[in-house]
Structure 1
Amino acid sequence: MASRVVKGGHALTEYLNASKAAEPLWGDVQKHVLDRASQPSGRRLDVLHPSEMVKTDWCHRAAFHRLRLNAEAPGRGRSSFTRENIFEEGHRTHEKWQNWFSQMGRLAGNWKCRLCGTEFWNDTTPAECHECEAPRSCLTYAEVPLNADPLRIGGKADGYSPRDGALIEIKTLGLGSLRYERPEFLERYMVETESFGKVPDLTRLWRDFRRPLPTAVRQTQLYMYLGRHFEDLEIDRTVFFYDFKSTQETKSFSVIYDEAFSEPLIDAAAAIVDCVAADTAPYCNLNGRSGCPSCLEFKERK
């Protein structure tokens, strides 16, 4: 059997740290998770992802290079056990809510048969596979595809309820999310303690959390645009379900569709696709001719 090769840098450091764990089983499970994270994720590199497009630091030039090369920039895709643990917890939360909506008959989207591999659309929970007639127990919810092929945009929403005319987005809220997206909000609820210094007042923080995080709102506006214009879905809003990690409490919010929000992003995607077709890189929209950290990560290839 060929031995596994671990690349240097961040991934190697994480792997070696796991090897030094005092409890062998703890070290082994960390190495197992990092091993899996080092394998190809299956994430498409030939499309623009809405989750990237809505970020304030989205670089059009970096997007051009990734589409043209069908590859991430060198150094991208680094992981850690904590990061993979967060992702896995997010997947479990998605499955929980999707199962509940499916049981209610309120979940439309793609379903995948684990027996024959067929993926098909259904407006509610199917009783069996459309292809091989395998029972419901063999089917996995594959979410809601949102693609704009002419613009090379591809993404997925967490769910869709035709009865409610709404996309569904499932989120977990932790202190890390607030620290990154709304640090001023988090700071408002930090209190000084004798034993632990400044800590967040979780009760008051959760009480006053009254709207989805900004990036999530921008992303769902783009999802709704794609759903209405390219997937022929009847959508007028997105319903968010936020699970608070600290207490397992939940809040729900609705965001009404606003077409004007997504138009600049659609225009940018069209311009990037034109540049790829012409094999001419656009200027960096964040830092002009000099470029930003994202596009400078790519090596120019003639």
Structure 2
Amino acid sequence: MAPRVVKGGPGLTEYLNATKIAEPLFGDVQKHVLEKAARPSGRRQDVLHPSEMVKSDWCHLAAFHRLRLEVEPAEKSKTTFTRENIFEEGHRTHSKWQRWLTEMGRLAGDWHCLFCDGYFWAEETPEACEYCSAPTSCIEYAEVPLNAHPLLIGGKADGFSPQDSALIEIKTLGLGSLRYERPEFLERYIVETDHGRLPDMTRLWRDFRRPLPAAVRQVQLYMYIANHFEDLPAERTIFFYDFKPTQETKSFTVAYDESFSEPLIEAATAIVDCLQTDTPPFCNLNGRAGCASCLEFKEDDK
């Protein structure tokens, strides 16, 4: 068999490092995962993603360029094996909770028939495909599409429970998430041990009493879209959190408050207006000088 040839591009350094690992199979697995990650993801580039909009470093000018070109800067597509492994664990956690809710008949949303490739909405676990009558074993849950088409916003919630008038959001919590979003909270639980400064997992998880801020902002935007654009009565969002270090779980409820989303809706409206007139907005993070996100598009143009 001829050896594989890997072209230069995002993830190449990580790929080459995988070839140096002492255990060949482990290295082959890493190379396989990175090869898959280098393929087009299918993630839409013609919409604003709520997960990006709620970040403190969301750049309106970068969003304008991405929507206009329908492509991300090369820097955004770089990845590592560790990052892909984290994503895979997150997918498995989602599947677990969605399977349990499906078995209970408590999950509404889009459903995908693996037999005919059709998608259809159902308020509870369907007994057969709406199009070809394939049995439940051929049907998988496809989550809850949330689109504000006039504003070019598109996303998906992890689930919707009609009985609770609630969106479902499934999260995993690890130390990396806390370091990024709530470092001051994490620091409270760092203790000196014989192995250095380590977090007290028991106390940390005991005192974790609310979802991370970005997650709250994201579900508020989801609920805004559900109520204003999808005719979906989402009065609250129910969070299911899995704690990675111990596999313990917690649930939180966040009530709908559209005031959270009004600035984001205004920003999306302004970006759409700029697209219609082909007039780039100023960078909202660093004015005329630009920030790292929008400057990447200028570098790509060069």
Superposition TM-score tier, normalisation by shorter sequence:
over 0.9
Aligned to 2:287: 288
Q: Helix, strand or coil for the counterpart of 1:298?
A: helix
Structure 1: segments with no counterpart, 5+ residues? none
Q: Helix, strand or coil for the counterpart of 1:112?
A: strand
Q: Does 1:7 align with 2:8?
A: yes
Aligned to 1:171: 171
CA shift, 1:301, in A, is 5.9
User: In structure 1, how many angstroms separate the alpha carbons of the residues matched to 2:260 and 2:164?
Assistant: 22
Per-residue CA distance 1:250-278 (angstroms, 9 max, x = gap): 00000000011101100100110111111
Query: Cα RMSD between the aligned structures?
Result: 1.4
CA shift, 1:75, in A, is 2.1
Q: Does 1:218 align with 2:213?
A: no
Q: Helix, strand or coil for the counterpart of 1:76?
A: helix
After TM superposition, list the pairs within 5 Å mapping 1:39-188 onto structure 2: 39-188=39-188
Deviating beyond 2 angstroms after TM superposition, the runs of 4 or more aligned structure 1 residues are 1-6, 299-302
Give TM-score scaled by structure 1 length.
Answer: 0.97
User: In structure 2, how many angstroms separate the alpha carbons of the residues matched to 1:279 and 1:135?
Assistant: 49
CA shift, 1:115, in A, is 1.1
User: In structure 2, how many angstroms separate the alpha carbons of the residues matched to 1:190 and 1:3?
Assistant: 46
Structure 2: segments with no counterpart, 5+ residues? none
Residues 39, 197 of structure 1: CA spacing in aligned structure 2 closer, same or farther, 3 A cutoff?
same
User: In structure 1, how many angstroms separate the alpha carbons of the residues matched to 2:11 and 2:95?
Assistant: 29
User: In structure 2, how many angstroms separate the alpha carbons of the residues matched to 1:191 and 1:301?
Assistant: 48
Number of residue-to-residue matches in the alignment: 300
Residues 190, 2 of structure 1: CA spacing in aligned structure 2 closer, same or farther, 3 A cutoff?
closer
Q: Percent of aligned pairs with the same residue?
A: 71
CA shift, 1:73, in A, is 1.3
Aligned to 1:244: 243
User: In structure 2, how many angstroms separate the alpha carbons of the residues matched to 1:42 and 1:273?
Assistant: 22
Amino acid at match of 1:69: L
Amino acid at match of 2:204: L
CA shift, 1:76, in A, is 1.8
Amino acid at match of 2:251: S
Q: Helix, strand or coil for the counterpart of 1:72?
A: coil
Amino acid at match of 1:255: V
Per-residue CA distance 1:216-245 (angstroms, 9 max, x = gap): 000000000000001101111000000001
Q: Helix, strand or coil for the counterpart of 1:125?
A: coil
User: In structure 2, how many angstroms separate the alpha carbons of the residues matched to 1:122 and 1:174?
Assistant: 33
Aligned to 1:274: 273
User: In structure 2, how many angstroms separate the alpha carbons of the residues matched to 1:101 and 1:162?
Assistant: 12
Aligned to 1:298: 297
User: In structure 2, how many angstroms separate the alpha carbons of the residues matched to 1:226 and 1:278?
Assistant: 25
User: In structure 2, how many angstroms separate the alpha carbons of the residues matched to 1:269 and 1:2?
Assistant: 48
Amino acid at match of 2:95: E
Q: Helix, strand or coil for the counterpart of 1:254?
A: strand
Amino acid at match of 1:286: L
User: In structure 2, how many angstroms separate the alpha carbons of the residues matched to 1:76 and 1:208?
Assistant: 34
Amino acid at match of 1:171: K
User: In structure 2, how many angstroms separate the alpha carbons of the residues matched to 1:47 and 1:156?
Assistant: 12
Per-residue CA distance 1:145-187 (angstroms, 9 max, x = gap): 0000000000000000010000000000000100110000000
Q: Helix, strand or coil for the counterpart of 1:31?
A: helix
